[in-house]
Amino acid sequence: MDIIFIRELEIETIIGIYDWERKIKQTLVFDLEMATDIRKAAATDNIDDTLNYKAVSKRLIDFVNGSEFLLVETMAERIAEIVLNEFSVPWLRLQVNKRGALTSSRDVGIIIERGNKTL
């Protein structure tokens, strides 16, 4: 199994349960690890034979920008569904970081894994 990753993808959205959070956009930071098999792409040197991380990033940016979830947990589940289903990824690890959510902490967020890691 190979992993294609995206680190520190920053996207602004409305997220949170408090009234003030519903009125402003906050920046969320996403880290993704996605299982794939890169051997065919390595042999053909063709982008169509691999997981296109630019396409994944664009899809997630569009989705998150247009969302207004209350919970980071809900957003994480929806993102996992998009990546698994639309990009035929068998497994992913997703970290969603809501920096600044706690004044006494630099980072707060969630990490989820979905799918089957073995190909």
- Catalytic site residues? 98
Classify each residue of 31-45 as buried b or exposed e, where b means 16 or more C-beta atoms within 10 Å of its C-beta.
bbbbbbeeeebeeee
Report the distance separating Cα 77 and Cα 87, nearest Å: 15
Contacts of 43 (CB under 8 A, 6+ apart): 49
Residue 83 sits at the vertex; the CA angle it makes with 25 and 54, to the nearest 5 degrees, is 75
Q: Residue 116 CB: number of other CB atoms within 10 A? A: 9
- Residue 52 has which token pair? 């296109």
